[in-house]
């Protein structure tokens, strides 16, 4: 890796608030690349760190854009800046997270976005009817995190290794799943199953959701295990 050292116009921004698990790093990455800046963005125990070098006016433009156009799920409480004298990459990149005591917020779980909902309904999409579809704009956050900084390795998704297709989305800067830590699909992510009360094995006579729908239609009560607990589902007219 080549580094640019001793840049006269280099700053470090400390961004505090709800800035982890919301697509903040990919957003800053895109902004910085568009402005021709070098540096890095990373998560740590206090929020997000942005270290950047380049033309002073472009750095100021980056700061304005971060304040004006954060990701939809983000909420910025404060941005602190100071001069930075360390070495930086010659391009702009998302760096490894830094651990430490947690003094930041994690976004709450978010309802499915329109784009993911469209995939769910598309018979030709590889996530057709996949109940755990999510992206940087929606899906689980607080309910799956086990530690800060927020990375896949510190969530309950850690044991689900990405398939090649999901890995490609995760690495693609133009994809809305760029650095989406909970990304998954039927080939590599968790699956839905239905267990009858008092039994250890799921029914073998169809898709779990279809079978559950039949049970509800005949008057049964289904306990749906969600991200933060159980929901009881039944026919309200029964």
Same domain, 183 and 198: no
Residue 221 lies in a domain: yes
Q: Using CA atoms, how far apart are residues 56 and 60, in angstroms rounded to an integer?
A: 6
**What pTM value is reported for the model?**
0.73
Q: State the pLDDT at residue 6.
A: 45
Residues of the chain with pLDDT under 70: 1-8, 100-103, 199-206, 227-228
For Cα atoms 65, 70, 75, give the angle at the middle one, nearest 5 degrees. 130
Strands (E) located in the chain:
3-4, 10-18, 38-44, 47-53, 75-83, 88-89, 92-94, 222-225, 230-233
> Tell me, what's the pLDDT at 208?
83
Domain stops at, among 154, 169, 191: 191
**Residue 70, φ and ψ in degrees, nearest 5:** -70, 165
Residue 169 has a pLDDT of 97
The total number of residues written for the chain in this structure: 238
Query: Mapping DSSP to helix (H, G, I), strand (E, B) and coil, where does residue 224 land?
Result: strand
Note down the domain range covering 153.
Answer: 108-191
99 in a structural domain: no
Do 19 and 47 contact (CB within 8 A), yes or no? yes
DSSP state of 145: B
Furthest C-alpha separation in the chain: 73
Beta pairing class for 38-44 and 92-94: parallel
Token pair 């998704």 is found at 157
Q: 106: helix, coil or strand? A: strand
Percent of the chain with pLDDT over 90: 63
Same domain for 7 and 71, yes or no, is yes
Residue 21 sits in the same domain as residue 62: yes
The answer to the question of residue 229 being in a domain is: yes
Q: What is the pLDDT of residues 25-48, one digit of tens each?
A: 999 999 999 999 999 999 988 899
């Amino acid at each position: 890796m080549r580094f640019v050292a001793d840049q006269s116009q280099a700053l470090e921004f400390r961004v505090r608030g709800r800035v982890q698990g919301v697509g903040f790093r990919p957003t800053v990455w895109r902004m910085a690349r568009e402005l021709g800046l070098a540096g890095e963005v990373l998560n740590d125990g206090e929020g997000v760190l942005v270290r950047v070098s380049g033309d002073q006016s472009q750095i100021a433009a980056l700061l304005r854009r971060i304040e004006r156009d954060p990701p939809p799920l983000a909420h910025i409480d404060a941005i602190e800046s100071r001069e930075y004298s360390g070495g930086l990459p010659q391009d702009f990149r998302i760096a490894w997270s830094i651990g430490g005591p947690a003094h930041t917020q994690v976004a709450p779980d978010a309802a499915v976005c329109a784009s993911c909902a469209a995939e769910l309904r598309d018979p030709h999409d590889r996530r057709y009817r996949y109940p755990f579809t999510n992206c940087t704009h929606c899906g689980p956050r607080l309910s799956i995190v086990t530690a800060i900084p927020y990375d896949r390795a510190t969530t309950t998704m850690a044991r689900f290794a990405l398939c090649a297709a999901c890995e490609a989305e995760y690495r693609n800067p133009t994809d809305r799943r760029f650095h989406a830590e909970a990304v998954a699909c039927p080939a590599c992510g968790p699956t839905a199953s239905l267990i009858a009360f008092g039994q250890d094995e799921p029914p073998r006579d169809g898709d779990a959701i279809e079978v559950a729908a039949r049970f509800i239609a005949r008057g049964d009560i289904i306990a749906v295990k969600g991200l933060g607990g159980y929901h009881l589902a039944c026919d309200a007219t029964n």
